[in-house]
Amino acid sequence: MAPNKNIKMDEATLRKILAAVQKAEENAPPPPPPPTAPVKSAQAKAQDDQVMATNNSSIVSKRSVEKLYYPTTAHHFFRHFVPKFQRRAPLINRGYHLRQHVIDVLVREFLSSPDAGDGRQKVVVNLGCGSDVLPWQCLARYPAQSRGAKFIDVDFPELMARKRQVVEATPALRTPLRWVREQGELAAPVVYESDEYVQIGCDLRDLEGLRKGLDMVVDVETSRFLFVAEVSVTYMEREGADSVLGWAGGLGDAEFVLLEQILPGGEQHHFASTMLGHFGKLNTQLKSVSTYPTLGHQLERFSSRGWGSVEAWTLWQAWANDKFFSPAERRKLDEVEPFDEWEEFALFGSHYCLIHAKTKAGEVKVAGQTPAVAEIPLEPLTVRVDAISGQRGQRRFAAAMALPEQGAAVNVMGLGTKSRLQSCDVYSYGQGSKARELAFGEGGPSSRMCHTLTDLGDGRVLLAGGRSGPASPMKDCWLFNKSADAWSKTHDLPAPLYRHSAVSLRRDGLALLAGGRGATSAGSAEFLVYVPQQGWVVCEVVSDERPLAVYGGILGLREDSKSLIGIFAGGLNDGVIAAQVLTWELDISDLKKPSIRFAAINTVSYSQNLLTRFGATCFWHKGAFLVIGGVIRDHLLDKKDDILRCLSSGKSLEIKSRYQCLEPDGSSDPLIPLYVGNSTVPLPDGRVVILGGGATCFSMGTYWNKGIFTLDFERTASEPVDKWAYEKSVEIIPGERSIPIVAKPKLEKAAEADNDSASTRAKSIPRIKLQDSDEFVKVVRGGRPVVIEGLELGSCTSAWSLDRLGEKVGKNRKVVIHESATQAMDFNAKNFRYVTTDFGSFIDGVKKGDKTYLRALSQEKPTEKPALLADDFPELAPDFVLPPQLFLVQENLFSSVLRVSGPVNMWLHYDVMANVYCQIGGSKRLILFPPGDVEHLSFAPGASSSSIDVFSLIDSPQLAQTHPQEAVLSPGDVLFLPPLWLHTATPTTNNSIAVNVFFKDLEGNCYAAGRDVYGNRDLAAYEKGRQDVARIANSFQKLPADAREFYLLRLADELRRKARG
């Protein structure tokens, strides 16, 4: 109470009063001690501490949202509780914004509700508030509505004590509060009190203490309460959380807003299991979620505890509900930061509920109608899983193609565990698979995700569009030639697009592309036809019915019709999944002016709910449309609704069946994939293979599909079937080809036969003899390869047979070898494996003709030191001698490597250091190219190896612009290899033995610093230059694509001129 300024008192009277008060205080009995809180066990206290610690991560995320989504810094209050700003990922920002926004809407609605004229004060109680700043946000955003209201924060006493300290030390938090009570005026559990704002330090399990705190700061009987519990009471034991809800419902005029996790798909759903595992690891288990896993359970929870009116939404429903967001507001959010994690946003939103309950009588309802699927037949579907070890095959939002003739499937690019990938995963099927041999030549698309791969049916596969970042769409398109395993550039899209849908028209290499998203968040309403001879042509819409501008929609072609007809459904429009299901008919009688006609399809309500999806796959399968995966509006797809079989007839579309997944042995509940971000491959035999896929589960970790999933709709799993296997990852070299595409040789034997025959194009490398070391110095300075004859290399040339090597080295000596499936080893394709074996077993295998290769490593520290024959094979070292003529080599020695090989080719590569290759046993053919040929030989940026099989292509047009030189080495021959000369080798006898000696021919500071076991690390100037190139390229990222390409090509030409000049 404010002092009465009208009362006047003389000094003597005031002294008497003060003396009397002091005497009364001295004679008064001591006050009773404060109530002692129950003593917690160490385990209980530790868990409470861990629950309080969840506040730390949460407020960092809320601060990220505050700074990005709310430009008015005067409303920034989380910054006072988060010393250092950390920008969260777009998915986390969007999710936390949604959490805060829906609560803000309901709190504002409560504050704005008209008074009943009975003088009741509005009180907002934030239960388990942590460092939340709801009171200051309301006071700043809604000052008129907040006038006369009181905001009360409740949490553990320790946490409230820390929050009080921050408030007292921060003028921006303290200034809006009037009549702040002194600490001496407060009694537990009240920690801080002003007219507008109160802090109560109280364990929510102590409802008596909580009621006591409320009674100390408000008149409970004449107040209107809004209780807010944002992911707080779920950490309590379920009985305690329910007691809080029941207690709050007994306070009279009250409302309750609860936001917490639910399990609409059960604990086994991949998002749910990831979420539960995350909180389990933190020892902050969600203790109510198993009892109340759905909105229906939550409704019952409240209505059975005295709440007369209850509304329930998932956050995914709230996102699409006009009560919380208008279309314009959703669009506005995309201006904050680029966003494209829609499937993951839907999964997150579907696993959180928002409950708004009132004690006053009213409706008890769930927002949105769950799709009624009882009438749709449930058919059995056999799911077989072929395991993949480790992190192999983990990529999302890639696109896959089948290569049936090679017994292979390839999952191309996409998002890996850390970044977008420039590679593809290769999978094999059956005993005769050639997947391990698959390698791409020079040229191909750059890394991307959300692109399409469309099999045109003419031996080519069309890759269209895609993106790097959400605001960086791509328009380039590529054709993959199955007969040559090679990419070639084709016509660009009219505008950059990703998240589009595409389907082959099954004639003349034509394809149809629908929808898609460009640099903004708006979808495209255009339909494009790909015509190989003229590029992409926009279809004219000749019907009144038109599709919405969407991306991520379902596009399918009826393959049983002579006409080009199909379906188009769903897709994202204004941030929500569009409720459109259309049929289309395409007229391509004039390929320069194709036209398309649309008509609405008649569907029952549940069919439309299940068919209008985002991110699903659709294709024609045995007389019907098969729709797989994706997400739907308002609800989480049940696992039995993931896959639909739909029959189309005229303007109607009927879901004929859903699927119950079974193990191959007929048992239920097999491991099934998460149908998000996966690639779908229909096979000629009717089976469907699911590759990759998974999702980031908000801030709780990433789930990856583990294995190769085969869907068998004919239930032929009892028959013997070949298994799928992950073979390797193959890099795609970005950029256009500089050489024409040539089909692969039909038979490997033909390629092997060519290894021994001399090329008609390659020049012979000169052969010389050296008189002294000075002559060799001149050779090195000349920078040209030569074969040196007549050198004395020691007794090795006569003493080292395979058997003798085995005896000298010892048969039990462990070595690491390359074991190849084919003669042409490919470092990029990794068509070989590293095997640790006994030296004796290796020698025996070489004698039998095994495709194996030994490149000796340091025996002591193979990952740290270069190989040295004297150290690694002391029993062989005395037999090998560097003659005096090669004194320069000995003086600048880097490494000396024992090489023993069977009938395998060493891949095309270059060495940064000069070296001499000393042939000891057997014979070997080498083909060399000068450094200037590097641009014609498919070397990826930063790579020192190429996948080109030179021996099978040396006389082909593919290498027409190169300048090969070759030599056949016999025992005693020494080949001088200048640095950076590209070379490949193959034995011309059953086996080969050699010693390869590397030496430094440049000043020491020219070489890159750091570890270099193989002597093959690029020069320091090149490594720095690549960093400079990356910086230059990044500086152009904000320009339009055409301008970026124009100027970067000009810079590239300038560099080329300097290189040539």
Backbone angles phi, psi at 750, to 5 degrees: -65, -40
Give tens-digit pLDDT for 943-984: 899 888 899 888 877 788 899 999 999 999 999 999 999 999
Give tens-digit pLDDT for 24-53: 445 544 444 444 445 567 777 777 888 888
DSSP string, 889-925: HHHTEEEEEEEEESS-BEEEE--SSEEEEEEEEEEEE
Name the token pair of 270.
């991949």
Per-residue pLDDT for 342 more than 50?
A: yes
Half-sphere exposure of 574 (CA within 13 A, CB side): 13
Q: Where are the alpha helices (DSSP H) in 326-403?
A: 327-333, 342-350
Residue 720's pLDDT is 58
Provide the 10 A C-beta neighbour count for residue 489: 15
Provide the 10 A C-beta neighbour count for residue 818: 19
Q: What is the residue-averaged pLDDT of the chain?
A: 90
Question: pLDDT category, 745, cuts 50, 70, 90?
Answer: low
Distance CA 854, CA 876 (A): 15
Residue 741's pLDDT is 62
CB 353 within 8 A of CB 300: no
Residue 1045's pLDDT is 83
How many Å is the maximal CA-CA distance in the chain?
Answer: 126
Instruction: Please confirm whether the linkage preceding 903 is cis (ω < 30° from 0).
Output: no
Question: pLDDT category, 735, cuts 50, 70, 90?
Answer: confident
Per-residue pLDDT for 1038 more than 90?
A: no
Per-residue pLDDT for 312 more than 50?
A: yes
Distance CA 962, CA 267 (A): 61
Question: pLDDT category, 757, cuts 50, 70, 90?
Answer: low
**Does 17 or 1044 have the greater pLDDT score?**
1044
Distance CA 444, CA 489 (A): 7
Question: pLDDT category, 433, cuts 50, 70, 90?
Answer: confident
Q: In sequence order, what E strands does 785-913 have?
A: 786-789, 814-820, 832-838, 852-855, 893-901, 906-909
Q: Please enumerate in sequence order all residues whose Cβ is within 8 A of that of 120, keeping only pairs 6 or more positions apart, or say none.
A: 222, 223, 224, 253
Give tens-digit pLDDT for 852-870: 999 999 988 888 899 999 9
Residue 9's pLDDT is 42
Distance CA 524, CA 514 (A): 8
Provide the 10 A C-beta neighbour count for residue 6: 5
Give tens-digit pLDDT for 894-926: 999 999 999 999 999 999 999 999 999 999 999
Distance CA 150, CA 104 (A): 16
Give tens-digit pLDDT for 678-723: 999 999 989 999 999 999 999 999 999 999 999 999 865 455 578 9
Rg for the chain, CA atoms, rounded: 37
Rounded percentage of the chain residues whose pLDDT exceeds 70: 92
Per-residue pLDDT for 220 more than 80?
A: yes
Mean pLDDT lowest for which of 9-23, 491-505, 896-910? 9-23
Q: Where are the alpha helices (DSSP H) in 374-430?
A: none
**Does 105 or 561 have the greater pLDDT score?**
105
Distance CA 735, CA 190 (A): 68
Give tens-digit pLDDT for 611-660: 999 999 999 999 999 999 999 999 999 999 999 999 988 788 889 999 99
Residue 778's pLDDT is 96
Burial class (CB in 10 A: 0-12, 13-18, 19+), 518: buried
Per-residue pLDDT for 396 more than 50?
A: yes
Per-residue pLDDT for 300 more than 60?
A: yes
Question: pLDDT category, 428, cuts 50, 70, 90?
Answer: very high
Q: Where are the alpha helices (DSSP H) in 574-712?
A: 605-611
Residue 822's pLDDT is 83
Question: pLDDT category, 586, cuts 50, 70, 90?
Answer: very high
Q: For the residues 362-374, what does the mean pLDDT come to?
A: 73
Residue 33's pLDDT is 43
419-438 burial, b at 16+ Cβ within 10 Å, e below that, comes to ebbbbbbbbbbeeebbbbbb
CB 979 within 8 A of CB 913: yes
**Does 744 or 247 have the greater pLDDT score?**
247
Residue 350's pLDDT is 98
Nearest Cα to Cα of residue 536 among 464, 483, 607: 464
Give all strands of the β-sheet with 527-531 in edge-to-edge order. 501-504, 511-514, 527-531, 535-538
> Residue 349 CA to chain centroid, in angstroms?
19
Helix (H/G/I), strand (E/B), else coil: 481: strand
